[in-house]
Structure 1
Amino acid sequence: MNTAVDAGILRLAQLGRLSATSLLVDGPAAMQDLPALLDTRLQVGLHLNLTESFGQPGVCLPLKTLIQTAYLGRLPLDQVRHSIDRQLDLFQTLTGRRPDYVDGHQHVHQLPGVRDQLLAALGGASGGGTAAGPWIRDTGRPRLAGLPWRLRLKARVIAGLGAAGLRRRALAAGFSQNSGFLGVYDFKGGVPAYEAWMSRWLAQARDGDTLMCHPAWGADPLDALAAQRQAEYAVLAGASMAQWLADHHLTIAGTEPRKEPS
């Protein structure tokens, strides 16, 4: 998205606070910061984008318009498939491999029409970047205990936009998905609010869950979420995060010390 976001991701990777990050292949900082990303131990996924304009070709619509068009069955499916294929090809060109997983910018990967074209483009699990193929983010099993009604509602709305349909199709095609989903909130409140939500998310996290986050280190003047992204970074990098992980016996996948060969 921008260099401040990239810097936050790379610093948190060094601290062992992330397991994966999603690559926005058309983003203005992708080429600049990709070598440093590939030097980390993070899983790298495709952040499928159909709503954010970087001057790229293909389908790019405001989110509300994309949702309405998808549910009316009026998406230009050949153009959607072309956009997906182009981003998958560019991902492989940039990284030298297929994505470890796929999610969507503003969760567009789960929308009717989009999800079918995505699964067809991935070609079944045998076409993936790992032995079992790429896993696909599922927003449909949110962990909501202890959260206020407005955040529970937002999480359910996101899930209701197509998670169940994607899950049925993904599992039938042999793709795996995360067990539960955490991290939905209103991007408000600075560090105190994010600390409160993070402590609640981690208290109910289970094996195989995905907790999404949106950190940045430093501000980008064009990013409306810059202040809250920095608050996320502060919490994710802080001592409280380490204590919560220890208290709940949680390990961030892929951050365990490597075992030396015997």
Structure 2
Amino acid sequence: MSGRPGPRKLVVCIDDYALGPGVDAAVLELAARGRVSATSCMVGLARWPAAAAALRSLAPGTIDTGLHLDFTEAPLDRSLRSGLGAFIARAYLGALPARRIAAEVAAQFDAFEQAMGRPPDHVDGHQHVHQLPVVRDALFDQMQRRGLQRAWLRGTRAPRREPGLKPGVIAALGGARLRAMAGARGIPVSGCLLGVYGFDADAAGYRQLLAGWLQRAAEGDVLMCHPARSEGSPAGDPIATARLIEHGVLASEAWPELLAQAGVAVGRFVPA
């Protein structure tokens, strides 16, 4: 007798851990409650070591903890900091300083491992810079040097029927090449990237977006989110309001209800 199929497992990943107290508080709360299953860490900020200590206090196996490669907010070498548009342009024009980019990627891996006492479970990029030329070459070099065959990469492929231009634009900036290079090296990559929107929704709108993403979700996909509590956010954070709205929804009973309605469960990444 065959049983009913179980729920589809979806990785729910909070980006920007260590960016500010409100982000960190949201990660720790939602992870402890089983509302999310991964977080990606920004290691170039002065508060990273203390934030890492709080993250280590979670029960083992609670979430995947990854490296959020960053060149647009707070790289360790501050002279490499760049606006996103300029960074993308330089990457595709072959104008990025490859040796300095490689050194920065290595330093961010080191900073993660020194604070967490282990390698990252996964790697992605702040504003998806991990998929760009030069950066992705340095990323694969470090994964090989460190023997990180079991760490997974976050893909940027847009789901079919995903509304709006933004998901497709993100994917077109290097997602297919990242996936091909990872496949040649035996490195697992997540499926489609859900959670892309303009950070302009109110609570009702965000619930509606979540419902749509959950309906389109497949095993191995990642739902990216950016919640924060009100403990404080960095000065000038352009998505501060959206972070609070996301937290309000993900912390409410609406979130498990949406998951149940869609037949989806929050889970950690399992390579296909």
TM-score (norm 2): 0.85
Q: Which residue of 1 aligns with 2:206?
A: 194
Is residue 155 of structure 2 the alignment partner of residue 143 of structure 1? no
5 Å-filtered alignment, 1:80-229, equals: 80-123=101-144, 127-128=147-148, 132-140=149-157, 142-145=158-161, 148=163, 152-218=164-230, 219-220=232-233, 222=235, 223-229=237-243
Instruction: Return the match for 2:259 from 220, 236, 245.
Output: 245
CA contact (8 A) 1:58 1:82 kept: no
Number of residue pairs matched by the alignment:
246
Q: Secondary structure at the match of 2:225?
A: coil
Is residue 16 of structure 2 the alignment partner of residue 3 of structure 1? no
Residue 150 of structure 2 aligns with an amino acid whose one-letter code is G
Deviation at 1:143, TM superposition (A): 2.2
Partner Cα separation in structure 1 for residue 221 and residue 73 of structure 2? 27
Residues 99 and 159 from structure 1, CA distance in 2 versus in 1: closer, same or farther, beyond 3 angstroms? same
TM-score (norm 1): 0.88
Partner Cα separation in structure 2 for residue 31 and residue 196 of structure 1? 37
Q: Structure 1: any 5+ residue segments left out of the alignment?
A: 256-262
CA contact (8 A) 1:190 1:227 kept: no
Residue 143 of structure 1 aligns with an amino acid whose one-letter code is P
Partner Cα separation in structure 1 for residue 173 and residue 44 of structure 2? 25
Deviation at 1:203, TM superposition (A): 1.2
> RMSD of aligned C-alpha atoms?
1.8
Partner Cα separation in structure 1 for residue 52 and residue 110 of structure 2? 16
String of CA shifts for 1:211-248, please: whole Å, max 9, x gaps.
00000011426123111101000111111111111122
Deviation at 1:29, TM superposition (A): 3.0
Identity %: 39
Q: Secondary structure at the match of 2:189?
A: coil
Is residue 55 of structure 2 the alignment partner of residue 37 of structure 1? yes
Residues 58 and 122 from structure 1, CA distance in 2 versus in 1: closer, same or farther, beyond 3 angstroms? farther
Deviation at 1:57, TM superposition (A): 4.5
String of CA shifts for 1:32-78, please: whole Å, max 9, x gaps.
22222122211110000011136644622211111111111121110
Partner Cα separation in structure 2 for residue 188 and residue 157 of structure 1? 18
Partner Cα separation in structure 2 for residue 26 and residue 120 of structure 1? 20
Structure with more of its chain in strand, by fraction: 2
Q: Which residue of 1 aligns with 2:250?
A: 236
Higher relative contact order (Cα pairs below 8 Å, separated by 6+ residues): 2
Residues 92 and 81 from structure 1, CA distance in 2 versus in 1: closer, same or farther, beyond 3 angstroms? same
Q: Which residue of 2 aligns with 1:259?
A: none
Partner Cα separation in structure 1 for residue 75 and residue 40 of structure 2? 17
Partner Cα separation in structure 2 for residue 55 and residue 170 of structure 1? 26
Partner Cα separation in structure 2 for residue 54 and residue 174 of structure 1? 28
